[in-house]
Amino acid sequence: MMLRINNNKQRNAQFLWGWLFILPTMIGLIILNIIPIFRTIFQSFFKTGDFGKGNIFIGLQNYSKLFEDTEVWQSLWNTIKYVIVEVPVSIMIALIIAVLLNQKIKGKSIFRTIFFLPMIAAPAAIAMVWRWLYNSQFGLLNNVFNLDVAWISDPSIAIYSIAVIGIWSVVGYNIVLFLAGLQEIPRDYYEAARIDGASGINQFFHITIPLLSPSIFFVSVTRMIAAFQVFDLIYMVMTDTNPAIEKTQSLVYLFYQYSFTYGNKGYGATIAVLLLVVIMMITGIQIYAQKKWVHYS
């Protein structure tokens, strides 16, 4: 009897303290995030009136406009191109570097620091220095290699030049995550393989990759979601007058332009909803596909 009273008392206490503790976070999340999701969707059925004043209900017109808007589909295509280059290449480079750093070598932490450095630099500063490197007249790249390439104003290559900046920026972050994953792989596996005469390359493909696949999966999902939201680099590297802007502007860039430069928040919201749908779909596909290749021990 005594015990039950205690249990009840304990349960009530946990209930009260529990809700007291999560209350600030829950109120904040609801006001700052959950309600805004619905308001953004709601907003996408409206048009901002002239001079940015008033909301006019237009039903699904924003969506029918969106489906026929070649600018939006081009920007989605630009974003996909960016993602397809940035994510796999940065993962591959990071894998190789992480495996090398995982060997018994000196200066490990210095190398790691260098690779991680771009991650903590302001994106505006990164974009400025890369624009300067890419400068077709006075830039380091063209002058050292004696080239004449319009890295960021040639519409056919500009998005890839920007993806290179993206790769350079995130590779260190991936390396850190892979190094953590590599530490979990038991050394015995490699020793056994060596006794069986497996070469380094063989060990890489038959031990490292399968056992690291949960890390690789995690990195590719999170990096892909982040890469789909690319904005800073494009906003900073491309100016409005750049002839390649049409072939480089990303979905989020367009979202920003419509919502805060052209003052059409209704259409901006519609683009944000499209982005949400695209990211949900891609993440869903990845989670489904993981069964095929991710190896959980």
Partner 1 sequence: MKSRDYFFKTIIYVVLLMSSFVMLIPFIWMILTAFKSITETTNIDPFVIWPSTWRLEAFKRVLENMNFVMLYLNTLLMIAGRILAAVLTATLAGYAFGRLHFKGRDIAFSLVLFQMMIPGQIFVIPQYIMVSNMGMLNTIFALIFPGLVTAFGTFLMRQSFMGLPKELEEAAYLDGCNIGQTFLFVMAPLTKSAMVALSIFTAVFAYKDLMWPMIVNLDKDKSTLASALAKMQGQYMSNFPELMAAALIACIPMVILYMIFQKNFIEGIATSGGKL
* Bridge partners for 46 per DSSP: 57
Neighbours of 278 (CB within 10 A): 15
Which DSSP letter does residue 103 get? Answer: S
Verify binding: residue 56, partner 1, rule CB under 8 A: no
Site for partner 1 in 142-181 (CB under 8 A): 143-144, 168, 171-173, 176-177, 179-180
Shortest spacing between CB 36 and partner 1, in angstroms: 4
Check binding of 282 to partner 1 (CB under 8 A): no
285 binds partner 1 (CB under 8 A): no
- The per-residue DSSP string of 170-230 comes to HHHHHHHHHHHHHHTS-HHHHHHHHHTT--HHHHIIIIIHHHHHHHHHHHHHHHHHHHHT-
Identify residues 76-95 at the interface with partner 1 (CB under 8 A).
93
Q: Which of residues 31-50 bind partner 1 (CB under 8 A)?
A: 31-37, 39-40, 43
**Residues from 170 through 229 that contact partner 1 (CB under 8 A):** 171-173, 176-177, 179-180, 200, 218, 222, 225, 228-229
Closest CA to 220 of 26, 51, 58, 83: 83
- The amino acid occupying position 77 is W
State in angstroms the smallest separation of the CB of 13 from partner 1.
Answer: 6
Q: Which of 91, 101, 159, 212 is close enough to bind partner 1 by CB under 8 A?
A: 101
In the set 83, 85, 87, 97, which binds partner 1 (CB under 8 A)? 97
Kindly tell me the sign of the dihedral angle through the C-alpha atoms of 194, 196, 200, 205: negative
For 293, the token pair is 């290749």
Select the residue interacting with partner 1 from 56, 60, 128, 289 (CB under 8 A): 128
Beta-strand (E) ranges in the chain?
46-48, 55-57
116 binds partner 1 (CB under 8 A): yes
Asked if residue 100 binds partner 1 (CB under 8 A), the reply is: yes
